[in-house]
Chains A and B, each alone.
Chain A
């Protein structure tokens, strides 16, 4: 793919915009880092600083129970100059990660897999955006910018997922599995993307190569690659931390058992504050299973469009994962423009977009009322996170509905354009 001038322009403007923001408002990154909408216990840059401080002083970074992120981030960040005296290099590092993510999106978009894959061919092929537009949607999304400025470590998970997808659509299935392994190592939940991702690889493999291979063997082989990459990363982490179980329980145990109920934009925290203690474990199981159960159902239903399954699952994660932040939503919004051809079929776009805008404006206000002004209570903020989740759910359901409609139209070519009524 040639690096054209438009792409350089978009990337350059995105970079300069971020640079301008931190130069004009030097306190903005720290402000965003403290926001609960952006920073959760598992991706907060502040907590990373704490872990880094302990790590550079040869104390176990998980002492004190503040740091819950993967240990491999520590040596990486200890290479960067001190954040207090010299914040710009770290910021620029994050800008570059954003640009790299955008580049992965460009690759995905240019491959055309979202429109035409082995089993599926969209009806409205002519309605689509090119890679640079998709990247621009990602780079100029305020949620992405906020995540980037807040230096949330979710961006690395985002990179892992986007690179896994871009390698999969590019036919490089081994790299895709390695990237997915990296993402899973960082945040655990991307491992759920394995099945749709391996289907993308498999379809792509059958489409472009003459060698046909058994599906089961193919899946097992790639599962082994994924497992090997995760095991390798865990082994490296063990070398860094020295105490295997401490780091496992502080990171993955933290993801799985959700002990920190700091408010965030998700649905878990309020529920588990109210939950009876004796049922806590059971409902943690229910919530995780709820999250995981979408994988099988969506993959089976949308077998012909595994890439769309990945996109929808990212939406599901942004709503239902234990510690969601707006960075998860921004990843979903990044994948959505790949399906520009579905937009004409969507019916509740206005309502969904209004709900999302409404909640992203009122959310911080209600949080302020609750925490700082003291004139509201937890229900204010929880109500707004419900609206946020509702907006995302409507968007998600609507897009899945459009994808199904698209499939149906493809199966029934003579009924194209028929008004759809939901029974």
Chain B
């Protein structure tokens, strides 16, 4: 362009090119010289070259929406429950060293038969298995009841429970005993009731089956409740059981990868100003948190707040002559926590916080209890727990001890442990803690599986209904991780490996949440196409109009010139 216009045209020669205006045509402007027309063409070409060669690529590059491919159908199938029907085959080992092999096999067969007859929830069924390894099982189950699969090979299902069948003299009917710290059920039977292979329904089998059914009744009801979408549980479950399950689910926290435990010591005076919290946590809480480690992680922080007064709204405790104690009314407990002034941080980091408050009343108001039931602790649903600690006052002393020993914290921390179990949704039966934790693992695996699946479904619906939102590559990879972990969860469940199932389900849930709440995706959700007019027009309109008009005029001129040349 620059080279062509370089031909030297002297000003005087240039001036002679247009027709010389005569006096009469003075008012009519001189016609444009070819040079001027050419220059105008070049100017318009220069602007349009920038627009076409730079503007359009930039527009394309910066406003095109990247949508990674998502397996929509697969995601919807998961959400609809078409891909996986979770089943819970629990393996129960039966150890009967005192019985002959055919006898025990018969016992096993009849018990299994009775169990299957009793069971009405097909997804959750118990499978009995005879083991002659009399010593191994109890030792393996050990105290750490949640993780019985440790010594098993990868593929073997977790052993949920070990039933020891033992003869005991002087019994009229069989009786059972659940060991509170292991996953072992001892069944004692009168030696006279050894089932002979001929009887079809020995009383011992019926007893064992009923015992097992009783042990897993609540778990079954809970899982049925979760899987059926919180509307109908098991038909046979008593209304009280259903009610207690839904109450427990309401009180417990939503599942999270990490919970923050916050222990706070509040006192209205200046003492106690320190406590052996580290020792107490180590001693009373750490084993429990350890047992919880396959389910969730925990962080712990603590604080001491002196001169923590009630809020002015709270009714003051009343001295009760009969109880010889200061009492709080049950209905006032909800106002006990002075949320405005007590520094209870609502959340630390990403996970939810569970607050545990140890309140030491002023010596003038000690002891302090709840009026109705003389309790000294209560749970705040989905928030935490409170414990009123009334330290023993030394003779003649009118102030609280400055330092709370580990021993004096024992009752408080036992209560806190119970509250923690409840808040995390641990079922109330059976009495053995390892069994309850196992139940919790299964319940959590079920709810995580459902929640991750439904997140997948929501994501699929979202991307279908909003064609203008971008789908970054990391969302696609999160989705594929989720789906593969979901199917891993499903197959683990089917084969009875519940710990592995929960681990997979946790990964699936995490990835599902991450893909659904991807920031770059959410940014454009609120950007319908109509808004783009408002974005583009104010600036590009004024710039564009003269450019387009210029281009049109120039094209018209070129077409006219071309036609004129053709006619000649």
- Chain A positions near chain B (C-beta within 8 angstroms): 118-121, 195, 199, 202, 206, 214-216, 219, 276-279, 281-283, 285-286, 289-290, 292-293, 296-297, 299-301, 303, 410-415
Contact = CB atoms under 8 A, between A and B. Distances in A.
Interface string B49-69: 111001100110111000000
B282 interface: no
A292 B30 CA distance: 33
Nearest to B6: A215
Given A276-B527, A281-B62, A289-B54, A297 B8 contact: no
B2 A199 contact: yes
Contacts of A292: 50, 54
A289 B30 CA distance: 35
B2 A285 contact: no
Given A215-B3, A300-B39, A411-B14, A285 B59 contact: yes
B3 A216 contact: yes
Interface in B24-73: 30, 33, 39, 42-43, 45-47, 49-51, 54-55, 58-59, 61-63
B55 to A, nearest CB: 5
B8 A118 contact: yes
B39 A301 contact: yes
Nearest to B30: A412
B143 to A, nearest CB: 54
B532 to A, nearest CB: 8
B2 A215 contact: yes
A303 B8 CA distance: 12
A283 B539 contact: yes
Given A118-B8, A413-B15, 7 more contacts: A199-B2, A279-B62, A282-B59, A286-B55, A296-B50, A299-B2, A411-B18
Contact of B43 (A118, A195, A279, A297): A297
Nearest to A293: B50
A119 B9 contact: yes
Report the 9 A-B pairs with minimum CB-CB distance, sorted nearest first.
Answer: A296-B46, A285-B58, A215-B3, A300-B42, A282-B62, A281-B62, A293-B50, A300-B43, A297-B46
B511 to A, nearest CB: 25
B8 A119 contact: yes
B533 interface: no
Contacts of A285: 55, 58-59, 61-62
B543 interface: yes
8 contacts: A219-B3, A276-B527, A289-B50, A293-B47, A301-B39, A301-B42, A301-B43, A411-B33
Nearest to A215: B3
Q: Which of A195, A276, A281 has the most CB of B within 10 A?
A: A276
Classify the interface of chain B: helix, strand, loop or mixed: helix
A279 B63 contact: yes
Q: Which of A216, A278, A292 has the most CB of B within 10 A?
A: A278
B47 A296 contact: yes
A222 to B, nearest CB: 12
B524 interface: yes
A273 to B, nearest CB: 15
A215 to B, nearest CB: 4
Nearest to B4: A215
B3 A412 contact: no
B118 to A, nearest CB: 60
A25 B252 CA distance: 71
Given A285-B58, A296-B50, A214 B42 contact: no
Contacts of A195: 2
A118 B1 CA distance: 18
B535 A412 contact: no
B11 A411 contact: yes
A28 B49 CA distance: 47
Contacts of A286: 55, 58, 539-540
A168 to B, nearest CB: 15
B21 interface: yes
Nearest to A203: B6
A121 B30 CA distance: 21
Nearest to A216: B3
Interface string B506-535: 000000000000000001100100000001
B5 interface: yes
B42 A279 contact: no
Contacts of B62: 279, 281-282, 285
Contact of A290 (B1, B8, B11, B543): B543
Given A289-B50, A292-B50, A282 B58 contact: yes
A299 B11 contact: no
A267 to B, nearest CB: 11
A297 B55 contact: no
Contacts of B55: 285-286, 289
A290 B47 CA distance: 9
A286 B30 CA distance: 38
B11 A303 contact: no
B38 to A, nearest CB: 9
Given A215-B3, A216-B3, A281-B62, A412 B15 contact: yes
Given A214-B3, A219-B2, A289-B55, A299 B46 contact: yes
A318 B543 CA distance: 19
A293 B523 CA distance: 31
A282 B11 contact: no
A206 B3 CA distance: 13
A414 B33 contact: no
A130 to B, nearest CB: 25
A67 B36 CA distance: 48
Interface in B156-196: none
Contacts of B14: 411
Contact of B49 (A279, A296, A303): A296
Contacts of A202: 2, 6
Contacts of B50: 289, 292-293, 296
Given A119-B8, A202-B6, A293-B50, A414 B527 contact: no
Contacts of B61: 285
Nearest to B58: A285
A300 B48 CA distance: 13
Nearest to B12: A413
Nearest to A303: B5
A252 to B, nearest CB: 17
Contacts of B2: 195, 199, 202, 215, 219, 299, 303
A279 B543 CA distance: 18
Contacts of A412: 15, 18, 30
B276 to A, nearest CB: 45
A291 to B, nearest CB: 10
A206 B6 CA distance: 10
A10 B30 CA distance: 47
Contacts of A296: 43, 46-47, 49-50
Interface string B271-310: 0000000000000000000000000000000000000000
A290 B14 CA distance: 33
A186 B14 CA distance: 42
A410 B59 CA distance: 42
A199 B58 CA distance: 29
A385 B364 CA distance: 69
B50 to A, nearest CB: 4
A216 B1 CA distance: 10
Contacts of B30: 412, 415
A411 B47 contact: no
B381 to A, nearest CB: 40
A82 B140 CA distance: 75
